[in-house]
Amino acid sequence: MERIGRQEIIDVHCHCFTGSGQTEIVTRGLAGLREAGVILLAVMGLVNPDLDAQEVWQLIPAGFENLGGPLFNEAAELLEFTRQSDSMLFPMLDTRMLHGQSQAAIEQLFRLGFRGIKGLYLPDDANDLSLSSIPATFGISLKQYLKQEWEIFAFAEANELPVLYHMDANRYGDMMRAILDDFPRLRINFPHFGIGRKAFSQILDTYPNAFTDIAYMRPHIQDNPASYADFISHYQTRVCFGTDALLYQPEIVLNYIELVRSLKLPAEVETLLFSGNPRRFLGLSA
């Protein structure tokens, strides 16, 4: 792949789904990505204290093959990959399978090296991913679920941790506003253009601490490149490079790099997307 200059690329949205059995594939993949200019990948790592090997799939969208352990307890292996990666990975704790004493569990994991938080807003069965709701999965009330999510946001804001939070602005726009009103200093990325660009643009217009990413949107962007290029240019300080790649799928990251270059964005906008906005979202110095 042709590269223009030494452009730095940061992917804010990958998932682990990988274990120590894939160490060689991961190491080789990261070396290839480094060649292509990728300096950092934020990788979401799941922990699962309660669910069995069938139940976990109620909280995982279809189409992602897991090569890691069947119970999705990825923390130890992701932190080990991070140590081996020469600082190329930025591990973020995926909290979707935590409930109950989430605060204490999270604090313990952060002492081990996690640097950000991932969540998924699943208050009912009508979410865009067709997943089970958290209240139904764990037998808790909606009120308990919201209290738990708010504790996570408060922890992230107090510790200046970035939060990647999958949430549909079309369906849950009011709740999105409630989060942003209550946590004005929280750096939060609602990925996939907040699921709906029209609804989400009102959020971006109102809240300067809200970010988004292009992860999983490649087919949509390819179908309508001019419209997405316009959106990215309009919100040029808010859209981050992200891919939804699993840690053993470096080719997906390369596909997304090519996709961004194919948009022929103004150079400064492309740089913001590839590294400027990811740095601000993750809280890294320029």
Per CB under 5 A, residues contacting Zn ion are 244
Query: Which candidate, 214, 211, 117, places its Cα nearest to that of 162?
Result: 117
Q: Which is nearer to Zn ion, 26 or 217 (CB)?
A: 217
Q: Which is nearer to Zn ion, 64 or 264 (CB)?
A: 64
CB of 269: closest distance to Zn ion in angstroms?
A: 23
Distance separating alpha carbons of residues 162 and 72, to the nearest angstrom:
22
CB of 244: closest distance to Zn ion in angstroms?
A: 4
DSSP symbol at 239? E
Structure tokens given for 211: 């970010």
CB of 94: closest distance to Zn ion in angstroms?
A: 9
DSSP symbol at 131? P
Q: Which is nearer to Zn ion, 29 or 191 (CB)?
A: 191
Query: Which candidate, 17, 42, 22, places its Cα nearest to that of 253?
Result: 42
Residue of this chain nearest to Zn ion (CB atom): 244
Other residues' Cβ atoms within 10 Å of the Cβ of residue 285: 4
Q: Which is nearer to Zn ion, 11 or 244 (CB)?
A: 244
CB of 264: closest distance to Zn ion in angstroms?
A: 26
DSSP symbol at 18? -
